[in-house]
Amino acid sequence: MSQITQRDIEIIVESVMKNVERSMEGKSSNVSVKALPHQGKPSATKSQLGVFQNAEDAILAAHQAYLEYSSNYRLEDRRNIVEAIRQVALTHLDELAQLTYEETNIGRLEDKKSKIFLAATKTPGTEDLTTSAISGDYGLTIEERAPFGVIGVVTPVTNPVETIINNSISMLAAGNAVVYNVHPSSKSCTSKLVNLINQQIQLVNGPANLITMIANPTLESLDVIMNCPKVALLVGTGGPRMVKTLLQSGKKAIGAGAGNPPVIVDETADIEAAAKAIIEGTAFDNNILCIGEKEVFCLSQVYDNLIYHMLKNKAYFLSKEEINKIKEIVLTQHEVEAAKGCSLTEKKKEYHVSKDWVGKDAQLILKAIGVNKKDINLLIFEAEFEDPFVQLEQMMPILPIVKVKTFEEAVQLAVKAEHGNRHTASIFSKNIDRMTQFARAIQTTIFVKNAATLAGVGYKGEGHTTFTIAGPTGEGVTSAKTFTRIRRCTLAEGGFRIM
């Protein structure tokens, strides 16, 4: 994977700065672009703008910011604010990546830099908001994108700062204000970012507290956000329990949930390219991304060739004994009663991923079973379909590979392993009919052909990026327009008198 150099970052920062300056020069905004006096506003801690001790204050501050934003600021001002967020992210890219890495203790530092870069440069801004018009004998009707107001947002530990950069650009471009309830294990790096963004927004004369967060987020503070009438929309990125909680709130909610992306490799594929792409995607940030490849279904006639090329590209093949030892360490298991007919009589083993091992380096996992290897990015092994590593969204640089006899079997098992998440899937093949067959069967929000699944969020792929892929609620690859209401405005009697 190509790394971003310091020079690349400097070039981007310079270009963003030029854009900001250009738009500031052209700004004749006779509307009040100065922050209005804030009487009776709850104040955030002086050192951390936008970070509040309690949820009510964070909501109130964001709500006041929204009122000011919607009454006194124009689209041009929104564009400046979006550029300001991009600039903050790029200027502080190294620092934010380092802070995230140190606090969350998961993933890989270099990949965090790439994710921040992606969020800052490929999240669309106000250009995403288009107005449609219908004109005819009876006049003119336009449909335009209006903000919701204050959005209550939940973010994951796996992409904490990236999600805030991405969501803030999208949501503020759409004219909203945001209150964040972040994952508690990322409260420090995210408060740093929220503070920096607010500082920069003030520098371009934007309202104070357009984004706020709760300093010590809990399920209780989320409850306050969910129940507050001043919050108009909820958006959550994370696991299934969180999405369920938001959907039960009685408010409109956009949920971006878990995935377990399967990959099919068939006998027509370029196997060397497939091996490299699968390793690139799975090893990226130690596989903590929801879109990261989690299990492979490989046609038996090309299985050996795929393993051969993976081993040449920094993978390590685990023996049965080695993977069993790893399972003892990184998974927990307990017996549960499973349905058998109408009675609950059958006992079955249920596995869970031990949080201590999520996102850890492949070499560290190997070391835990007494194997010392250098220059290894990914651990692979031959698995049965029932293997917990196939079934669980395990978020570790460990990839199970299931050998299958036919393409039909591969599709059937891949669909089962995806568990109806409708998240992400990929295929390596040169047969277009098969691509279509798999896409139709699996119905995921992101479907990637002959590339790492990262391409599906615009990383070495076309199209914009998002860190909030709303599969469960259907909005898909979110952007500014996702966070708007459609408003209709009609001018009637254009030329005819209505009888």
Q: Which residues of this chain interact with ligand NAD, rule CB under 6 A?
A: 154-159, 182-184, 219, 222, 237-239, 241-242, 245, 256-259, 290, 393, 467-469, 471
Output the smallest distance, CB 238 to ligand NAD, in A.
2
CB nearer to ligand NAD: pick between 269 and 469:
469
The tokens for 205 are 């004369």
Q: Which two tokens stand for residue 445?
A: 């929000």
Please give the Cα distance from 14 to 86 (Å, whole number). 12
Runs of H (alpha helix) within 123-186? 160-173
CB closer to ligand NAD, 242 vs 274:
242
- Nearest approach, Cβ of 293 to ligand NAD (angstroms)? 13
CB 355, min distance to ligand NAD, A = 8
Beta carbons of 209 and 61 less than 8 angstroms apart: yes
Least CB distance to ligand NAD at residue 350 (A): 17
User: Minimum Å distance from CB 469 to ligand NAD?
Assistant: 4
Which parts of 160-249 fold into alpha helices (H)? Answer: 160-173, 187-203, 219-227, 240-247
* Choice between 276 and 423, CB closer to ligand NAD: 423
Checking DSSP bridges between strand 476-477 and strand 150-154, what pairing results, if any? Answer: unpaired
Q: Which amino acid is at 443?
A: Q
Spatial separation of the C-alpha atoms in residues 409 and 389, rounded to whole Å: 19
Position closest to ligand NAD via CB: 238
Identify which of residues 58 and 256 has a Cβ nearer to ligand NAD in the complex. 256
CB nearer to ligand NAD: pick between 64 and 163? 163
SS3 of residue 135 by DSSP: strand
Distance CA 220, CA 306 (A): 49
What is the nearest approach in angstroms of ligand NAD to the Cβ of residue 46?
26
Q: Which helix (H) or strand (E) holds 75?
A: helix 75-91
Residue closer to ligand NAD (CB basis): 248 or 301: 248
Closer to ligand NAD by CB, 20 or 96: give it: 96
Nearer to ligand NAD, 237 or 391 (CB): 237
The answer to whether 469 and 478 have CB atoms below 8 angstroms apart is: yes
Shortest distance in whole angstroms from residue 57 CB to ligand NAD: 19
Closer to ligand NAD by Cβ: residue 79 or 422? 422
Is 281:453 a contact under the CB 8 Å cutoff? yes
For 203, the token pair is: 């520098």
From the CB of 466, what's the least distance to ligand NAD, in Å? 7
Provide, rounded to whole angstroms, the least separation between the CB of residue 180 and ligand NAD.
9
Question: 169 phi and psi, to 5 degrees?
Answer: -60, -50
Contact yes or no for 326/398 (Cβ under 8 A): yes
Tell me 239's DSSP state: -
Q: Which amino acid is at 83?
A: E
